[in-house]
Amino acid sequence: MAACRRFWILSEVINATKRCTVDARSKTGSQGRQYCIQRCLSTQTQEISPDTIQLSDSCVKRLKTLDNNGCLRVIVEGGGCSGFQYKFDLDTTLQEDDHLFEKDGAKVVVDTDSLDFLKGCTIDYHQELIRSAFRIINNPQAEQGCSCGASFALKL
């Protein structure tokens, strides 16, 4: 498990270094690379485990603009064109069986039943010309989904 975590962090550092050219333009050579690595590692505040839900930077940014007191509630229900569907709602109350995931002050709540369908996924906020919405990406529990990304079929 520790080796897997180290590999994931290393790959994230490499990817962040590739993406981090704009902010590092004022720095040169190894100074720029060091700046990018520190920036990447400072954003890795969540513990990486198979039971964790990750929050993308765009998700965190959007949640911070919506409500400081509430959180995003993610629910998995039966239905949709693939068998199960994701539901997103803003909520201010926590239930007994809720699991709270937090990154940089942005909060996401998932109930115990839904967590079984979401373990290991990433919650993202995506904007297009025709719509903008929260979405689930990289869900290891999902085998296939519909084209809009709102529903999925379970891996068996």
Mean pLDDT score of the chain, rounded to an integer?
76
pLDDT digits (tens, 9 = 90+) for 21-74: 444 444 555 555 555 445 444 444 445 566 789 999 999 999 999 866 789 999
Residue 131, Cβ density class (10 Å: 0-12 exposed, 13-18 middle, ≥19 buried): exposed
- Per the confidence metrics, is the pTM higher than 0.85? no
Q: Phi first, then psi: what are they for 20, rounded to 5°? A: -90, 35
Q: Which helix (H) or strand (E) holds 25?
A: none
